[in-house]
Amino acid sequence: MAPARVRIELPSPLRVLAELRSAELELAVPPPVTLNAVLDALEAAYPRLANTLRDPATGQRRAFIRVYANQEDLSHIPQDAPLPASIAAGAEPLLIIGAIAGG
């Protein structure tokens, strides 16, 4: 099966770290398209992002990194669960953002 063309939107701090000029990028992601597969492809293409989105010891998404698709928070689904078909088809971007905390 051919890799999916997944669209990803990154916030400004991650774009700066990855040396990207555009908010959106497109990556080939092998099926099944899961958060882990997307993050693997993202870190392979942009090595400076390694260890910023996932804890290097556990491989788990960092607590203050949130993932959205189709206006839905996907941060609480398992990282190896399939992402929505619209993401795998490239119809909608996967949004990766840093949560804002404080008071």
The pLDDT value recorded for residue 18 is 92
The pLDDT value recorded for residue 88 is 95
The pLDDT value recorded for residue 103 is 58
| Residue type for position 71 | Q
E strand intervals along the chain: 4-9, 24-29, 65-69, 72-73, 94-98
Full-model pTM: 0.91
CB-based burial label for 81 (10 Å; 0-12, 13-18, 19+) = exposed
Please, what is the end-to-end C-alpha distance for the chain in angstroms?
48
pLDDT in tens, 85-98: 999 999 999 999 98
Order of all β-strands in the sheet with 94-98:
24-29, 4-9, 94-98, 65-69, 72-73
Domain boundaries, the chain: 4-98
Length of the chain: 103
> For all residues of the chain together, what is the average pLDDT?
92
pLDDT band at 25 (very low <50, low <70, confident <90, very high): very high
pLDDT band at 2 (very low <50, low <70, confident <90, very high): confident
For domain 4-98, the CATH class is: alpha beta
| Residue type for position 98 | G
